[in-house]
Amino acid sequence: MKFARALLLATLPLTLGLAACDKKDAATGEVASAEPIAKIAAPAGKSWAETFATTPDGGYLMGNPDAPIKVIEYGALSCSHCADFSEKGFAKLRDDYIASGRVSYELRLFLLNALDMPAVLLATCGAPEATIPLSEQFWGWQREMFTKMQANEAAMQQVNTLPPEKRFAGIAQVTGMSEFFASRGIAAAQGATCLADTAKATSLATRNEDWAKKYDITGTPTFFINGNKAGVATWEEFEPLLQKAGAR
C-alpha cells in the first residue's frame, strides 16, 4: 500500500510541533450551562478511571461511555502545550471528573510533524487500554526527547536518508522513543513491527487529514465538550467549562 501521506509527515521539519501546537481558537466556544450532575456509580468492582474503550472515530476513551459530559482532546505527542495540560490537569481530570462517572475523556492522537507518527505507532502498539496511560507518560517524558534531539542533530539529519520503510524506526531510535516504550511494555521486536506498519501509518495520516478538515483542527490541544469546541488550551481555562457543563 502506498503511504505518501504518512511519508510526508516523516519529512516535515522536526521543529514544527513546537511552533504549531500553540495555535488555538481565539474565543471560548459555547459550552451550555447545566445544573449540577450527580455522581454516577461504576459497575460493582470497577472504576470509571480504569474503564477504557476504542471509539468508531479512531479515539481512545476513558470513563463512563454514557457520561453526560463528553470531552474529546485532539492532542499531539510532540506538542509541548499538550504536555503542559497533561502535567497540570490530567490527574485532576481523571480523579475528580472521570472517576465521578459524569465525564468521559476521549483522546484522538493528532499528527503535527515527523515526531508524531512514530510516537503514535508506538503508543498504540499494545493493548487499546494502554494507549491513554502511555500517552500521558510520554507527555511527562517529552522534554527528554527534545534534549536527545538537540544532542543528536547529525543523527536526526541522517534519518532522512534512510529508506522510507525505515524512517519511522530511525526517528524513534535517535529520539529515545523506542527505549521509552520498551521500558513500559512495548518490547523492542514488537515496537519494530509497529514502526514498520506502513498500512497503519497511511490510515493514521488519512484519518488525521479527515479530522483536520471535518473539525477544523489547526493546532493542539483542541478540546470539545459535548460536541462544542472549547476554544481553550490550558487546564486553568478548561476546568471552569467542565463545571459550567454540570460537573460540580
Q: What is the pLDDT of residue 22?
A: 56
User: pTM for this one?
Assistant: 0.91
Where are the domains positioned within the chain? 4-244
Residues in the chain, overall count: 248
Angle between helices 198-215 and 4-11 (to 10 degrees): 80
Instruction: Write out the three cell numbers for 130.
Output: 494502554
* Residue 87 grid coordinates: 502535567
Q: String of b and e for 75-108 (b: at least 16 CB within 10 Å)?
A: bbbbbbbbbbbbeebbeebbeebbbbbbbbbbbb
Strand partners, 70: 104
Note the pLDDT of residue 164.
76
Does the domain at 4-244 match CATH 3.40.50.40? Answer given as no
Alpha helix segments (H runs only) across the chain: 4-11, 16-20, 80-85, 91-92, 116-123, 131-151, 153-159, 164-175, 177-182, 188-195, 198-215, 235-244
- The rounded average pLDDT for each run of 10 residues, N- to C-terminus, in the chain (248 residues) is 50 46 55 93 96 98 98 98 98 98 98 95 97 98 95 90 88 96 97 95 94 95 96 96 96
